[in-house]
Amino acid sequence: MDKESFVLIRKKMNRTQKQLAELLGVSLKAIHSYEQGWRKIPLHIERQLWFLIYQKKKQDGVTSEPCWERKSCEMKDECSAYEFKCGDMCWFVCGTKCKCTRDVDVREKMQVCRKCKILKALLK
Ligand code: SF4
Ligand code: SF4
């Protein structure tokens, strides 16, 4: 995750840096470092942040069609996202069968999902 997306999500969540530090269980200094680009944002922090903004949107009544419908997916029957019915959280689960997320580890998968409209929609 880049620092711009990090800041954008914090602002969408109406959190100060201090409040977000508490929410993510990290120091205020770490938040400063992520936002200034001095420190790379760890994968577990990024995933937590995406999860929180996803939940916030859901609470605000923002819903979306599942990925298999939005992407006219032909692989859904083999896919973990479909099995667990998390078509708007497919970026969170591994074992997805989108061409680009197949047989990759969680770090590589996140790189792919960051460019996908399903995940990007959370920033709108
Ligand atoms: S995550 Fe990808 S492969 Fe799986 S159901 Fe969604 S669009 Fe299809
Ligand atoms: S690339 Fe990622 S976010 Fe996009 S549909 Fe596949 S699993 Fe979901």
Structure token digits, residue 9: 């999500």
Question: Closest ligand 1 atom, CA of 70?
Answer: 7
What is the per-residue pLDDT for 104? 85
User: What radius of gyration do the chain's Cα atoms show?
Assistant: 15
Structure token digits, residue 75: 């692989």
Say yes or no: 85 and 59 in one domain. no
Of 101, 102, 111, the one to substitute when testing ligand 2's pocket (max ligand atoms within 8 A of C-beta) is 101
Q: Determine the distance from the C-alpha atom of residue 19 to the mean position of all C-alpha atoms in its chain, rounded to a whole number.
A: 19
The domain of 53 spans 1-63
Residue whose CA is at the smallest distance from ligand 1 atom 5: 76
Residue whose CA is at the smallest distance from ligand 1 atom 2: 98
Q: What is the CATH number of the domain that holds 46?
A: 1.10.260.40
Tell me the pLDDT of the chain (124 aa) as tens digits. Answer: 999 999 999 999 999 999 999 999 999 999 999 999 999 999 999 999 999 999 999 999 888 899 999 999 999 999 999 999 999 999 999 989 987 778 888 899 999 999 999 999 998 8
What is the per-residue pLDDT for 10? 97
Nearest-ligand number for the alpha carbon of 84: 1
Say yes or no: 69 and 42 in one domain. no
Say yes or no: 82 and 114 in one domain. yes
Of 97, 103, 115, 119, the one to substitute when testing ligand 1's pocket (max ligand atoms within 8 A of C-beta) is 97
In angstroms, the CA 68 to CA 96 distance is: 11
